[in-house]
């Protein structure tokens, strides 16, 4: 009897608490609609769940706001450049020139990074040199960078506050209260996390929906063969379809460094010349290649690893036979490797209407 | 409301009282929770994330080495008592020397009776566990072993430069399934059976020490001038690694 009484009392207490929560929710008129990421099967089958910050869940309203901000030149000082100016959908959100040119006509010194599958960057370190921790923090920087948008967040916030549409969009996404740079970058990060690419020919091959050509098959073998390409230690494999380890490596581009990369960020000389491995997805759309866009074609990239390696004190030991410039692939293996790499490109990603302005 | 609180408080008191009575029945704990803490050294010099890439060492054969990256996998940790009873812990342990949060291993089923034990575990994955692509955390760490070499996972990735005092060259001491010939593979895991007696009297952390130098030492004195890279497709090198790993681990201190 006593136990029954206790259960009833506990249930009553819980019910009472639940009612209280409901009342709170009713008061919050701008409750945004949850919009969890649509995780592709080849990701859910093989790799860990994406990284979504607990204080910035994906919502319909947040994503819509982020998309509008991403394509809006209002972020730049003279209203001429948006994020999309240097991160173009048709280039897998990268840019065509080696160095993108900012609002004052000044070029940067790194190639614009493509944007896709960023929620699966488990270490959450962004930019070629990893200087931003979290996508939200990454999004802060281009606005104030003097050779990019050359603006201040105070100006941006004021413009957004005075805009006919933004105030209500911010309220819908984040509740009432002033517009802030934190809310703006949270929204941009939400939109960027929806930029998922997982529908290449090779993805469909993994799902049993496409067949590789003999050249692509051999190219995969070159990629996975420690005695030939040995690409997989840094660039994923069929069981890691991100096609990057998102780690920092010195891949033998230079004997001395004009750009210290990760070393500039950490201050550790052992990190000099190290840059984050980019994904090999969508290479068909993301030329030029490397952190400084020095290679215009995939052939040049493959030739670099095959014959062009430069030794330096921080070179990654995975750059085999550096004393001979590389592993010297045959012409056939080079051509097949290129064919395989191109099978990782996903035209449906760059044509996705949800990702266009 | 008063009645509710009285009921809750009363029930809590009853629960507490019964726990106290249990405690009074025994002098010491009969069960203990155990965890593992892995430490790494090069012949007595502690190696961790701070000095992995800065320490210059010399291997048994005489090559002067700088280390860049050491990651390894062990599985099926089990403690065996004097009666031969085995306590197998769930899960596997993937360690990256650059990331000290990976040094510890706290299995979910970590409760064992107090007593004397020895530790046994598998270097890498055994035949049953080494399933290609089956572990999302290991896939996400790009820990896979190529299908053309038998698939599954790396057991060890040890990258560095040798002859750094003269002409530095890369080595990639990577261990996993051994390829006998095209399409023919041989399991290459090792059973690490450490004879040191571990006396568990209370909740304990067992230190397991790895001496990295042993990979190059015993029974095969490793000549990096000959065996540097690529070693993954090299059957003989893979079997030599399987032999050398047997003397790499030892029991360290027991904290309880």
Residue B142 to residue A317, Cβ atoms within 8 A: no
Give the pLDDT confidence of B131-182 residue by residue, as tens digits.
999 999 999 999 999 999 999 999 999 999 999 999 999 999 999 999 999 9
Residue B230 to residue A122, Cβ atoms within 8 A: no
Kindly state whether A10 is in contact with chain B, defined as any CB-CB distance less than 8 angstroms: yes
Residue B72 domain-assigned (yes or no): yes
Task: Please say whether the beta carbons of A233 and B142 come within 8 A.
Answer: yes
At B213, list the tokens.
């130098």
Residue B198 domain-assigned (yes or no): yes
Give the pLDDT confidence of B201-215 residue by residue, as tens digits.
999 999 999 999 999
Q: For chain A, percent helix, then strand, then coil, each to nearest 5?
A: 45, 5, 50
Residue B11 domain-assigned (yes or no): no
Domains of chain A by residue range: 1-28, 41-196, 201-350
Exposure of B64 in the CB half-sphere (CA atoms within 13 A): 9
At B202, list the tokens.
């209370």
Predicted pLDDT at A30: 63
Residue A224 to residue B161, Cβ atoms within 8 A: no
Residue B172 to residue A10, Cβ atoms within 8 A: no
Q: Which residues of B touch A (CB under 8 A)?
A: 3-4, 7-8, 11, 53-54, 68-69, 132-133, 136-137, 139-142, 144, 146-148, 157, 159-161, 167-172, 174, 229-233
Residue B108 domain-assigned (yes or no): yes
Residues spanned by the domain of B71:
29-255
- The interface residues of chain A toward chain B in range 116-155, judged by CB-CB distance below 8 A, are 120, 122
Calculate mean pLDDT across residues B54-70. 98
pTM given for the model: 0.90
What CA–CA distances, in Å, run from A13 to A2, A9, A51, A137, B10?
16, 6, 35, 42, 16
Confidence tier at B29 by pLDDT (50, 70, 90): confident
* Predicted complex: ipTM over 0.85: yes
Residue A322 to residue B3, Cβ atoms within 8 A: no
Predicted pLDDT at B27: 65
Cα dihedral sign, A197-A202-A207-A208: positive
Predicted pLDDT at A29: 57
Predicted pLDDT at B3: 47
Report the alpha-carbon distance of residue A123 to residue A109 in Å, rounded: 24
Report the alpha-carbon distance of residue A330 to residue B32 in Å, rounded: 60
Which residues of chain A have a CB within 8 Å of the CB of B132? 239
Architecture of domain A41-196: Orthogonal Bundle (1.10)
pLDDT per residue, tens digit, chain A (357 aa), is 344 444 444 444 444 444 444 444 444 556 999 999 999 999 999 999 999 999 999 999 999 999 999 999 999 999 999 999 999 999 999 999 999 999 999 999 999 999 999 999 999 999 999 999 999 999 999 999 999 999 999 999 999 999 999 999 999 999 999 999 999 999 999 999 999 999 999 999 999 999 999 999 999 999 999 999 999 999 999 999 999 999 999 999 999 999 999 999 999 999 999 999 999 999 999 999 999 999 999 999 999 999 999 999 999 999 999 999 999 999 999 999 999 999 999 999 999 999 999
- The single-letter DSSP state of residue A149 is T
Residue B38 domain-assigned (yes or no): yes
Q: Would A41-196 and A201-350 be classified into the same CATH topology?
A: yes
Topology of domain A201-350, CATH: Cytochrome Bc1 Complex; Chain D, domain 2 (1.10.760)
Predicted pLDDT at B28: 73
Exposure of B219 in the CB half-sphere (CA atoms within 13 A): 4
Residue B1 domain-assigned (yes or no): no
Please count the structural domains in chain B: 1
- Here the contacts of A302-308 (C-beta below 8 Å, separation 24 or greater) are A302/A329, A302/A334, A302/A337, A302/A338, A303/A334, A304/A252, A304/A253, A305/A229, A305/A231, A305/A251, A305/A252, A306/A334, A308/A252
């Amino acid at each position: 009897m006593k136990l029954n009484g206790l259960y009833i009392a506990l249930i009553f207490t819980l019910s009472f608490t639940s009612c209280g929560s409901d009342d709170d929710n009713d008061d919050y008129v701008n409750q945004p609609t949850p919009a969890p990421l649509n995780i592709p099967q080849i990701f859910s089958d093989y790799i860990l769940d994406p990284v979504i910050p607990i204080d910035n869940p994906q919502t319909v309203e947040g994503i819509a706001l982020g998309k509008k901000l991403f394509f809006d030149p209002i972020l730049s000082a003279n209203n001429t450049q948006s994020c999309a100016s240097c991160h173009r959908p048709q280039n897998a959100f990268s840019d065509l020139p080696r160095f993108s040119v900012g609002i004052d006509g000044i070029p940067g010194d790194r190639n614009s990074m493509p944007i896709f599958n960023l929620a699966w960057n488990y270490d959450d370190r962004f930019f070629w040199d990893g200087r931003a921790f979290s996508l939200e923090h990454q999004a802060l920087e281009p606005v104030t960078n003097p050779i990019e948008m050359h603006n201040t967040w105070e100006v941006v916030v004021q413009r957004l506050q005075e805009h006919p549409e933004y105030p209500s969009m911010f309220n819908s996404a984040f509740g009432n209260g002033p517009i802030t740079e934190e809310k703006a970058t949270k929204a941009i990060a939400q939109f960027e996390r929806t930029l998922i690419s997982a529908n290449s020919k090779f993805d469909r091959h993994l799902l049993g929906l496409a067949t590789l050509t003999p050249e692509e098959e051999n190219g995969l073998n070159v990629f996975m063969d420690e005695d030939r390409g040995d690409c997989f230690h840094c660039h994923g494999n069929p069981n890691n379809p991100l096609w990057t380890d998102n780690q920092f490596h010195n891949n033998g581009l230079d004997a001395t460094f004009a750009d210290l990369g990760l070393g500039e960020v950490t201050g550790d000389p052992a990190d000099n010349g190290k840059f984050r491995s980019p994904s090999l997805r969508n290479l068909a759309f993301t030329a030029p290649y490397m952190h400084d866009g020095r290679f215009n074609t995939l052939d040049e990239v493959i030739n670099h690893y095959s014959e062009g390696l430069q030794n330096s004190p921080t070179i990654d030991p995975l750059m085999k036979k550096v004393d001979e410039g590389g592993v010297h692939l045959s012409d056939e293996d080079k051509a097949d490797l290129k064919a395989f790499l191109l099978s990782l490109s996903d035209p449906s990603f760059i044509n996705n209407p949800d990702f266009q302005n | 409301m008063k009645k509710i609180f009285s009921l809750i408080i009363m029930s809590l008191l009853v629960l507490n009282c019964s726990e106290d009575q249990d405690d009074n029945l025994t002098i010491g704990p009969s069960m203990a929770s155990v965890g593992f803490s892995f430490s790494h050294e090069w012949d007595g010099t502690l190696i961790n994330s701070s000095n992995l890439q800065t320490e210059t060492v010399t291997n048994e054969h005489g090559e002067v080495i700088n280390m860049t990256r050491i990651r390894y996998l062990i599985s099926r940790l089990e403690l065996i008592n004097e009666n031969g009873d085995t306590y197998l812990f769930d899960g596997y342990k993937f360690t990256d020397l650059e990331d000290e949060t990976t040094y510890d291993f706290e299995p979910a089923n970590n409760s064992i009776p107090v007593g004397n034990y020895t530790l046994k575990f598998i270097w890498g994955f055994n035949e049953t566990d080494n399933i290609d692509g089956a572990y999302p955390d290991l896939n996400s760490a790009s820990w896979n072993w190529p299908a053309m070499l038998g698939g599954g996972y790396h057991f060890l990735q040890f990258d560095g430069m040798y002859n750094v005092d003269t002409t530095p060259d890369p080595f990639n001491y990577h261990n996993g399934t051994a390829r006998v010939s095209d399409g023919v593979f041989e399991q290459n895991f090792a059973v690490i059976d450490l004879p040191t007696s571990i006396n568990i009297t209370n909740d304990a952390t067992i230190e397991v020490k790895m001496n990295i130098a042993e990979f190059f030492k015993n029974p095969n004195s490793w000549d990096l001038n000959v065996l540097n890279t690529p070693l993954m497709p090299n059957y003989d090198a893979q079997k030599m690694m399987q032999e050398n790993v047997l003397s790499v681990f030892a029991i360290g201190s027991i904290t309880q």
